[in-house]
Structures are given as C-alpha cells and as structure tokens.
C-alpha cells in the first residue's frame, strides 16, 4: 500500500502538476516505488505522453496540423516532469509485470522524440525484448505501420513517427530478427 506522499505524487504526475512533483521530490520522496494498479511512477509519467500524442494525431486527422511551437508547448510539462524524475535519479529500467518495455516503449509509441532522446541519454536499453521476443523497434514499427522497420513505407509516416523510429535506429535499436 502506498503512503500518502506516494499517492499525492502519482496524482501530481497524472495531473501534470509540476510544482507538486518538484515539492515532493525536493522533500526527499523516492520516486522508485510501484503502485499495484498503476505500476511505477516512471510508467505513470510515460503513460501520460499518450494524451499529448492523441492531441497531435487528432489535429492531423482534422487537417489542422499543430505547429512545432504548439506541440512543444503542450509537451513541455511532460518533459519538465521527466527532467525532475531524472534529477531525482528515478530508475527508468523499473517496470511492473504488465509493462512490456517500460517508459522507453511508451515514449516511442507516443512518437515523442524529445522523451525518447532523454531516455536513451539515460542509457535505457533500446533492445529490450517482450515476452514474444520483439524488440522495441520491431514492436513500434508494427504498431505504427504493421511492418518491420526495414519494410516501412515512409510516405505513410507522420513526421513524429519517422523521427522516433529513426532516432531509435540511430541509437542502436535493432529489429527482432537482428538480435541473436
């Protein structure tokens, strides 16, 4: 069972309350705990990226693509919370049994290039495999395009999808068939 501080911390992450996240971490809260239902705090953070990605996708679908500045403005609080977690030395390799890959997979599946970059900078392994033996690159390529990375028709890709997959690849991510 979580203590009150841990419960408030998870709520602050979900509500994107940066000031509360900062206060709790400054007060010495250890971010490496696992909620039985929501998983680790880092996963609660990375799950929130999907709301940002959904807004970006909705704008594309409506024919009203967001500007880079608009996307950045919407994303900034997520990145600020990530930075706070990094400064608090959160374990980004920590996830529960329900998580296939953890925060890197979540960030990549939300096509969030800046978050993927920061997680890779934290040495999160881009070649983690799920229970089916799929790497993150294979899983995300399949999620976005129903194809492996080397078979993607890039004309069908949103810019964020392409940048995410190319970033993973440039930082050593391999397709499942390349990992022995």
Phi first, then psi: give them for residue 129, nearest 5 degrees: -110, 150
pLDDT tens for 67-85 read 999 999 999 999 999 999 9
More confident residue, 179 or 29: 29
Task: Tell me if 75 sits within 8 A of 9, measured CB to CB.
Answer: no
Q: Note the pTM of the prediction, 2 decimals.
A: 0.93
How crowded is residue 165: how many other Cβ atoms within 10 Å of its Cβ?
A: 25
Query: For the CA atoms of 180, 160, 154, 142, what is the dihedral angle to 10 degrees?
Result: 40
| Mean predicted confidence (pLDDT) in 133-150 | 94
For the chain, the domains span 4-178
pLDDT tens for 84-126 read 999 999 998 865 455 556 899 999 999 999 999 999 999 999 9
| CA–centroid distance for 141 within its chain | 15
- Kindly report the average pLDDT of the chain as a whole number: 93
Burial of 16 (0-12, 13-18, 19+ CB in 10 A): middle
DSSP 88: T
CATH class of domain segment(s) 4-178? mainly alpha
Task: Tell me if 166 sits within 8 A of 113, measured CB to CB.
Answer: no
């Amino acid at each position: 069972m979580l203590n009150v501080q841990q419960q408030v911390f998870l709520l602050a992450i979900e509500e994107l309350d940066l000031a509360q996240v900062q206060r709790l971490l400054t007060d010495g809260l250890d971010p490496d705990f696992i909620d039985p239902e929501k998983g680790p705090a880092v996963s609660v953070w990375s799950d929130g990226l999907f709301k940002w990605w959904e807004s970006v996708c909705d704008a594309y679908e409506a024919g009203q693509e967001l500007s880079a500045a608009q996307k950045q403005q919407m994303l900034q609080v997520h990145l600020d919370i990530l930075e706070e977690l990094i400064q608090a030395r959160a374990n980004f390799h920590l996830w529960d049994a329900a998580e296939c890959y953890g925060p890197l997979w979540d960030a990549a599946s939300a096509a969030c290039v800046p978050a993927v970059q920061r997680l890779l900078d934290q040495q999160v392994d881009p070649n983690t495999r799920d229970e089916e033996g799929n790497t993150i690159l294979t899983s995300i390529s399949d999620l976005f395009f129903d194809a492996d990375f080397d078979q993607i028709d890039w004309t069908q890709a949103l810019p964020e999808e392409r940048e995410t997959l190319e970033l993973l690849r440039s930082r050593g991510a391999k397709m499942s068939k390349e990992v022995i």
